[in-house]
Amino acid sequence: MIQVALVGGTHIHTPGFVKRLNARTDVKVAAVWDPNADTAQRRAKDLNAPVVADLSAILADVNIRGVVVCSETNRHEELVVAAAKAKKHLFVEKPLGFAAADAYRMAKAIEDAGVIFQTGYFNRGNAQHLFIREQIQAGAFGKITRARGSNCHTGSLGGWFDTEWRWMADPKIAGCGAFGDLGTHSLDLLMWLLGEPESVAAHIGVATGRYGDCDEYGEALLRFPGGLVATLAAGWVDHANPVPLLISGTEGHAHIHNGQLFFKSTKVEGADGKEPWTKLPEAWPHAFELYLDALHGKDVSLVGVREAAARNAAMEACYRASKEGTWVNPIKG
């Protein structure tokens, strides 16, 4: 039985992690901490775990091996650095930090401590995405010239953040608005498939004003080495998002439309793009499950902490590019 602690319980994905923790028979939540006593009590009740008022008690407890950070983003650096120094294995909800500087500082602390790290980029484990990555690596697309990632929903239109999640629509606390919140998932997928962009341009804006000057939508151009250009769309004001991923090259094309993968390649027999492609690898467990498996010593694929920091750097560059109206080079760690 591995003991973990929940440190911060305010992220919108926290209830999902609570459900996963409760379903595991090989993990025990030994403590819950949040600076807000009411939040701590609610999460502790859901997990049937004790509330700890002093975070240092969690960090000093040698029986607690892992810390799950689901706090507001502006608390991440303080919590992550302290937990890393205490040699606690870390799951940190995305994004890792506000921008490049704090994310790379956290990355260094985690690397220096030699602890396990994972974050919530769960899209990597999708069977269709795994297949596309395999085909990219096999050369089935030829020279890739165009890609598109899109992650959009009706968050602002539906008032999703009028509740306890209001802080997620406050960039001073969350570090970003809709474009960064949702876009980081598609950004991770594009960078996992294609590498790190050399420069970015973007337009990020407000549509309804429901959350003041918090951005609600955006579109970015990502320029990769070799000439590939990708577009990244994300927002809280979209009624549909039918094509979340598209990859196009000189020898092939793939896109996902309403959950179905269509794949065409001159190098793959039967890949004519006319019918949904269903010959897929086995999907990975959810990113959070992979973290819990890693605590038990299982050899699983995790998001590297430098990868997570690089996503922060690329997203920061997108926001700068939108503000300055020019191409911006992401900061390298």
Write down all domains in the chain, each with its CATH number in brackets. 2-122 (3.40.50.720), 123-283+303-324 (3.30.360.10)
Beta bridge partners of 200: 222, 328
Residue 71: the pLDDT is: 98
- The pTM score is 0.97
For the record, the structure tokens of 71 come out as 């706090």
Q: Two tokens at 223? A: 């320029």
* Residue entry with tokens 């390298």: 332
Please tell me the predicted confidence (pLDDT) of residue 333: 87
Q: What b/e readout covers 61-70, taking b as 16+ CB neighbours within 10 angstroms?
A: beebbbbbbb
Three-class secondary structure of residue 289 per DSSP = helix
Strand order in the sheet with 27-33: 27-33, 2-7, 64-69, 89-92, 117-119
Distances (CA, A) of 147 to 85, 125, 227, 331: 40, 19, 12, 22
Contact 200, 221 (CB under 8 A): yes
Residue 135 tokens read as 């085909």
Residue type, 45: K
The CA-CA-CA angle for residues 10, 14, 19, to 5°, reads 150
3-state secondary structure of 109: helix
Unique residue bearing structure tokens 């926001």: 319
Peptide bond into 285 cis (omega under 30): no
Q: How many CB atoms lie within 10 A of CB 56?
A: 11
Q: How far apart are CA 71 and CA 174, in angstroms?
A: 10
Residues of the chain with pLDDT under 50: none
Provide the pLDDT for residue 172: 97
pLDDT of residue 110: 98
Report the phi/psi class of residue 29: left, alpha or beta, with left for phi > 0 and alpha for psi in -120 to 50: beta
